[in-house]
A and B are shown apart, each in its own frame.
Chain A
Amino acid sequence: MPVVTYRDALGAAIREEMQRDDRVFLMGEEVGVYNGAYKVSKGFLQEFGEMRVVDTPITELGFAGVGVGAAMVGLRPVIEFMTWNFALLALDQVVNAAAKMLYMSGGQYKIPIVFRGPNGAALQLSAQHSQAWESWLAHIPGLKVVAPGTPYDAKGLLKSAIRDDNPVCFLEGEMLYNTKGDVPDEEYIIPLGKADLKREGDACSIITHGKMVLVAMQAADQLAKDGIAIDVVDLRTIRPMDVEAITTSVRKTNRAVVLEEGWEVCGVGAQVVDHIQRECFDSLDAPVIRVHQADVPMPYTKSLEKAAKPDLPKTIAAVRKVMYLD
Chain B
Amino acid sequence: MVSKKKSDAETKSSANDAELLHSMLLQRRFEERVAEAYALGKIGGFCHLYIGQEAVSTGTLSMLRADDYIITTYRDHGQALARGISSRSVMAELFGRQDGCSRGKGGSMHLFDQNTNFLGGHGIVGGHVPLATGVGFAIKYRGGDQVIVCFMGESVVNTGAFHEALNMAALWKLPCVFIIENNRYGMGTSLERASAIHDIYERGAAYNMARQQCDGQDIFAVRQAVGEAVERARKEQQPTLLEVRTYRFMGHSMSDAVSGTYRTKAELEEYMKRDPISLLRAKMEKDGTLNEEQLQKMDADIKAVVQDAWDFADASPELPLEALYEDVYVDTTT
Which A residues contact B (CB, under 8 angstroms)? Answer: 21, 25, 51, 56-57, 59, 61-76, 92-93, 96-97, 101-110, 112, 141-142, 144, 160, 163-166
A-B contact pairs, 7 of them (CB 8 A): A62-B165, A69-B132, A104-B110, A105-B120, A106-B112, A107-B326, A163-B334
Which residues from chain A contact B114 at a C-beta distance below 8 Å? 105, 108-109
Which residues from chain A contact B52 at a C-beta distance below 8 Å? none
The 9 residue pairs across chains A and B that have the minimum distance between CB atoms = A69-B134, A65-B130, A62-B164, A106-B103, A69-B131, A105-B112, A66-B134, A106-B102, A165-B330
Which residues from chain B contact A101 at a C-beta distance below 8 Å? 120
Cβ-defined contact, A142 with B329, below 8 A: yes
Partner of B130, one of A62, A112, A160, A164: A62
Which residues from chain B contact A56 at a C-beta distance below 8 Å? 168
Docked complex Cα distance between A254 and B168 (Å): 55
Which residues from chain B contact A110 at a C-beta distance below 8 Å? 330
- B133 at interface by CB-CB < 8 Å: yes
Partner of A75, one of B123, B141, B160: B141
Which residues from chain A contact B63 at a C-beta distance below 8 Å? none
Cβ-defined contact, A107 with B103, below 8 A: yes
- Contacts known (A102-B328, A106-B103, A106-B112); A72 close to B130, Cβ less than 8 A: no
- Contacts known (A66-B133, A75-B141, A109-B114); A104 close to B333, Cβ less than 8 A: no
- B104 at interface by CB-CB < 8 Å: yes
Closest residue to B164 on the A side, CB-wise? A62
What distance in Å separates the Cβ of A292 from its nearest Cβ neighbour in chain B? 28
Closest residue to A90 on the B side, CB-wise? B130
Of the listed residues A25, A69, A74, A92, the one surrounded by the most CB atoms of chain B closer than 10 A to its CB is A69
- Contacts known (A69-B132, A73-B138, A92-B161); A109 close to B119, Cβ less than 8 A: yes
Number of interface residues of B (CB under 8 A): 49
Cβ-defined contact, B137 with A69, below 8 A: yes
Which residues from chain B contact A165 at a C-beta distance below 8 Å? 330, 332-334
- B135 at interface by CB-CB < 8 Å: yes
Cβ-defined contact, B135 with A102, below 8 A: no
- B317 at interface by CB-CB < 8 Å: no
Chain B 290-334 interface 0/1 with A at a Cβ cutoff of 8 Å (1 = within): 000000000000000000000000000000000000111110111
Cβ-defined contact, A70 with B333, below 8 A: no
Docked complex Cα distance between A144 and B334 (Å): 16
Cβ-defined contact, B328 with A72, below 8 A: no
- B230 at interface by CB-CB < 8 Å: no
Cβ-defined contact, B102 with A73, below 8 A: no
Given contacts A70-B134, A73-B119, A163-B333, 9 further A-B contacts (CB under 8 A): A61-B161, A68-B131, A73-B139, A97-B128, A103-B328, A104-B102, A105-B120, A109-B119, A160-B333
Docked complex Cα distance between A104 and B328 (Å): 9
Docked complex Cα distance between A160 and B334 (Å): 9
- Contacts known (A61-B161, A62-B167, A64-B130); A107 close to B327, Cβ less than 8 A: yes
Which residues from chain A contact B141 at a C-beta distance below 8 Å? 25, 51, 70, 75
Chain B 115-145 interface 0/1 with A at a Cβ cutoff of 8 Å (1 = within): 0000110111001111111111111111000
Partner of A72, one of B119, B332, B333: B119
Docked complex Cα distance between A208 and B101 (Å): 43
- B106 at interface by CB-CB < 8 Å: yes
- B66 at interface by CB-CB < 8 Å: no
Cβ-defined contact, A69 with B102, below 8 A: no
Cβ-defined contact, B113 with A73, below 8 A: no
What distance in Å separates the Cβ of A269 from its nearest Cβ neighbour in chain B? 24
Closest residue to A64 on the B side, CB-wise? B130
Partner of B327, one of A68, A69, A106, A160: A106
Closest residue to A103 on the B side, CB-wise? B327
- B105 at interface by CB-CB < 8 Å: yes
- B50 at interface by CB-CB < 8 Å: no
What distance in Å separates the Cβ of A44 from its nearest Cβ neighbour in chain B? 16
- Contacts known (A61-B164, A65-B127); A106 close to B329, Cβ less than 8 A: no
Cβ-defined contact, B130 with A166, below 8 A: no
- B171 at interface by CB-CB < 8 Å: yes
- B185 at interface by CB-CB < 8 Å: no
Which residues from chain B contact A59 at a C-beta distance below 8 Å? 164, 167-168
Partner of A97, one of B101, B103, B127, B167: B127
Docked complex Cα distance between A51 and B173 (Å): 12
What distance in Å separates the Cβ of A265 from its nearest Cβ neighbour in chain B? 26
Partner of B129, one of A65, A67, A76: A65
Partner of B328, one of A63, A141, A164: A141
What distance in Å separates the Cβ of A286 from its nearest Cβ neighbour in chain B? 36
Closest residue to B333 on the A side, CB-wise? A163
Closest residue to B332 on the A side, CB-wise? A165
Which residues from chain B contact A64 at a C-beta distance below 8 Å? 130
- B276 at interface by CB-CB < 8 Å: no
Cβ-defined contact, B171 with A57, below 8 A: yes
- B151 at interface by CB-CB < 8 Å: no
- Contacts known (A75-B141, A105-B102, A106-B101); A166 close to B327, Cβ less than 8 A: no
- Contacts known (A65-B165, A93-B127, A105-B106); A70 close to B137, Cβ less than 8 A: yes
- B100 at interface by CB-CB < 8 Å: yes
Cβ-defined contact, B124 with A92, below 8 A: yes
